[in-house]
Amino acid sequence: MRRRAELMSQVSGGAMAAVVGVSEQIVEETLRQHDATGVVIANYNAPEQFVLSGSREELARIKPVFEKVEGVRGFVPVRVSGRFHAPAMAPAAARFRFLLASVDVGELRTPVISNVTGRPFGPDAREVRELLAEQIAKPVRWTDCIRYLRDAGVSVFTELSESKVLTSLIDRITAAREPAPDPRRDLIERIKREILQPEIGDEALGFDDDASFRQLGLNSIIYVRLARRVGTVLGVPIKPDVIFQHRSCAALADHLLTRDDIAQAPAPEAPPAPLREYQDERVTALLRDCANGTLSVDRTVEAIRALA
């Protein structure tokens, strides 16, 4: 952790600010409508709380914009020294990835949730190293992490700190109603993330839903690869000229939703088994003692490590 912090501190400049009161969709639309391309969501803290990362100038420019958005209860600068969990941290992530290559990663005995994916780390040591490196430059998906744990059967959360900031966020996440499924929205996001991004990079994630693929400078070879990727990812065989005729994420999604065979596309992989089977009563007892003040945080951490 010390080395990770040192590498992140070497990337200077930038700032962060929290937006409270509106959904992720409204935050993304506001950034897009005002051409704040250098600002990204760095933390998904709760369904209506997000932390933005970008240059000081861009954040200062969009602050009054967000303050006028209906529902926004605050646009609060975060006291940090850089634009963390954003593409600007890529150099630090690359150096940390190089450092981790020489670290021996043993078999994971206790599930740990990755802030990058909102899911447990897998057994592959290479994947563990990669996610640990990516975490520096990728957003913290805290909301997804807590929802996964709740769905897996976890009902008690203990914050090892005098602060109750995370506990408050967990309460807000668990109290919020899940948004109604939007097949069209979900498909557009999958097209960006799983079909376009592997071919053109992160530019795909912020690409306007209705903008023409021609703006990306795609050629016929790319159209062929995109068609193949649609077949692989969505299980829907299409020809390259279909993508050429439906040259935007929204148009392609609308076309795919009219296809009868999309219903036979592979379903998302089921989440791993609930975490109850991994619970250790000794750890639970130590965390309970810490929560009620019987044990200090430092003593609790030492005791848990001794059980490993």
| Average pLDDT, consecutive stretches of 10 residues, N- to C-terminus, the chain (308 residues) | 82 90 93 92 94 95 95 92 90 91 86 90 88 93 92 88 87 78 86 87 83 83 87 84 88 86 47 54 70 68 70
Put the strands of the sheet holding 74-78 in their side by side order. 40-46, 49-54, 15-20, 74-78
- Spatial distance between the Cα atoms of 288 and 282, rounded to a whole number of angstroms: 10
Residues 6+ apart with CB under 8 A from 302: none
Specify the CATH number of the domain 1-179. 3.40.366.10
3-state secondary structure of 122: coil
Contact 113, 45 (CB under 8 A): no
How much is the pLDDT for 292? 62
How much is the pLDDT for 261? 57
How much is the pLDDT for 165? 87
Residues 6+ apart with CB under 8 A from 164: none
Instruction: Indicate the residue type of 218.
Output: L
How much is the pLDDT for 267? 44
Instruction: Indicate the residue type of 167.
Output: T
3-state secondary structure of 259: coil
Give the residue extent of every domain in the chain: 1-179, 183-264, 273-308
Same fold, 1-179 and 183-264: no
Is beta strand 74-78 parallel, antiparallel or unpaired with respect to 40-46? unpaired
How much is the pLDDT for 264? 42
Sign of CA dihedral 296, 297, 298, 300: positive
- Of 266, 36, 287, nearest to 157 (Cα)? 287
Structure letter (DSSP) for residue 153: T
Q: Does domain 183-264 have CATH number 1.10.3720.10?
A: no
